[in-house]
Structure 1
Amino acid sequence: MALIWLWAFRLTHSYFRREEWKFGQREDWRYTKMAKENPRSWWLLSFFAVGLAQQPMLCGITLPLYSTNFSSTPFSFCDLAATALCLSGLTIAGFADNQLRNFMLENERRGQQGEQKIKILETGLWKFSRHPNYFGEQLWWWGLALFSVNLGDYWAVLGTAFNSIILAAVTVMTEKRILDNWTAERRSLYVEYRERTSVWIPLPRFGAKNVLLKKEAYQALPAE
C-alpha cells in the first residue's frame, strides 16, 4: 500500500504540474481525436470505450493488491525484488517526466526570447528510449504483479498484460500524432530519432544504417 501511495502521489503531482495546477482544463487529446472522427456516435463510443471500458482495466491492474491483502505469507526475497522493480519504475518515470518538462520549459523560454527552439528531446533517458516514462510505468505495474506471482496467483498478471497491450496501442497513436501534426523539419528529425532509438526499454543507440534510406520519405512530407 505504501508503494501504491507513492505511485499515486507521483502521477497526481505530474498531472497537476503539467496542467499548471488547474483541474479539468484540457481534455485528453485521444478523446478529442475520437470525438472528431466519430461525431455521430461519439456519445455511445464515449460511454463504452472511455467510461465503461476503463473500469475492468482498473480492476485488472490492481488484482495483485487482492492477492497480497488476503495473504499471510511472510515477506520474501521475491517480494524484495518486486519492491525494487516498483521503485525503479517510479524513479525512471519520474526522471523521464522531469526531463520532458525541462525540455518544454526551455523551449518556452527560447520562444519568449526569440531564440531557436530545440527540435527533438534526445538527452537523458530520452536518448536511450523514445518513451522512457511509459517504460517506467510498465516496470511499476509488472513489479506489482510480481507480488502475486510469488504467492502463486498467476491469474493476477492478466490485468497487467492487458494494460501493457493498451499502452502499446497508445504508443502507436502518440507517434502517429507526432508525425501528423509536427512541422516537416521536426517530423524528419523524429523519423531519424525513431530509427536509432528503442521504443520503451532504454537501450544503447542503434546504428544509423537505415536513416539515409528514409531521405526520400522526408522529402515527400508536405510543407508546413
Structure 2
Amino acid sequence: MSDALAMLGLNFAALIAVVLILWGVAVRIRDVSFIDAFWAFGMVLLAWASVLQVGVGAPHGLLLLGLSTLWGLRLAIHLFRRWRAEGEDPRYQKILGGVMKQRGWSWPRSALVMVFLMQAPLLFLTCLPVQVGIWASAANTASAIGLIGWIGAAAALIGIAFESIGDAQLARFRADPANKGKVLDTGLWRYTRHPNYFGDTLTWWGLWLIAADLGPWVALASVAGPVFLTFTLTRWSGKALLEKGLHKTRPAYADYVRRTSGFIPWPPKTRG
C-alpha cells in the first residue's frame, strides 16, 4: 500500500507542476478556457505516469491505459479545437469577473485559485480508477480479466463512442448558420439532452469496473472518481450550469426539456 501512496503522491506533485505552468500560459494570454482540454489530457498524463512508475502487469493495466488514453486524447483534441475556434468561454469570464469584483483579487490570482488549483485535485480524484487500477495490475501480474472487467471494457468503449458521436453531431449542427438559436433534437440528442456527458460518465464507470475486477479494495479505493464525475456532470458544473444558460438563450429549450430525457438515453415523450 505504501508503494501505491508513493505513486499517487508523485502523480499529484507532477500534476500540480504542470498546472502551474499552464497557469503561467493563461496569465500571458489572459484566458483560462483551455483548461477544459487539459481536464481530459491530464488524465492521460496520470495514466502514463502511473505506468512509468510501476509498469503494466496484468491485462487490466493495458486496458486501463489504452481506454483512458483513447478517451482522453479524443476529448482533449475536440475541446482544444473548439476553444481555438470559439475563443474564451463566457462561463470562465463570469466566474473570474465575479471573484475579482467580490474579493478584490487580481486576474492572475483569481485564475490560479478558482480554476487551476481547484480543478487539479478534482481531475486527480476522477482519475483514481485508472491510477489505482494500474498499480493493482502491476502488483497482480497473474490476474486474468474476469466478467466484471470485460463488462467495464464494453461500457467504456460504448461511452467513448456515445460521447464522440454526440460531440460530432453537435459540431455539425453549430457549423450551420441556419441553426443559430435553435435546439439540436436529432440523432443521439433526441434521446438525451446530454449524450456527451452521459458518454463521459459511462466511460469512467466502465474504467472503474475494470479496476474493480482486481479486487474489492481496489473498487473501494477508487469509486470516489466516477461518483464525483457523475455528481459534477449532473448536479454541479455540467448539466445544471449549461441548462441554466440555454433556458435563457433558446426559447425552444423548455419544450425540448419536457420531451427529452435529462441524462440517461430514453425514447422522447410524445407531445400531448
Using the size of structure 1 for normalisation, the TM-score is: 0.78
Native 8 Å contact 2:174 2:180 kept in 1: no
In 2, distance between residues paired with 1:147 and 1:10? 20
Structure 1 pair 47–121 and aligned structure 2 pair: CA distance change class (3 A): same
SS at match of 2:223: helix
Shift in Å at residue 67 of structure 1? 2.8
Partner of 2:198: 135
Identity of aligned residues (%): 33
RMSD, aligned α-carbons: 2.1
Aligned residues: 194
Higher helix proportion (structure 1 or 2): 2
Q: How many angstroms apart in 2 are the aligned matches of 1:208 and 1:37?
A: 40
Verify: 1:13 aligned to 2:77, yes or no: yes
Query: 1:36-75, aligned counterparts within 5 Å?
Result: 36-40=97-101, 41=103, 43=106, 45-70=110-135, 71=137, 72=140, 73-75=143-145
Partner of 2:100, secondary structure, is coil
CA distance in 2 between partners of 1:208 and 1:135 (Å): 24
Segments of structure 1 that go 5 or more residues without pairing to the other structure are 111-115, 210-224
Give the Cα–Cα distance (whole angstroms) in 2 for the partners of residues 18 and 118 of structure 1.
18
Distance in 2 (CA, whole Å) between partners of 1:27 and 1:119 is: 22
- How far apart, CA to CA, are the structure 2 residues paired with 1:146 and 1:63? 12
Q: Aligned in 2, Cα 1:35/1:17: closer, same or farther, shift over 3 Å?
A: closer
Residues 191 and 268 of structure 2 are in contact (CA less than 8 Å); yes or no, is this contact kept in structure 1? yes
Aligned to 2:266: 203
SS of 2:263's partner is: coil
| Equivalent position of 1:90 in the other structure | 160
Structure 2 equivalent of residue 163 of structure 1: 229
Q: 1:36 to 1:117 in 2, by over 3 A?
A: closer
Structure 2, gaps ≥5 residues long: 1-64
Give the CA deviation at 1:98. 0.6
Q: Distance in 1 between matches of 2:129 and 2:118?
A: 20
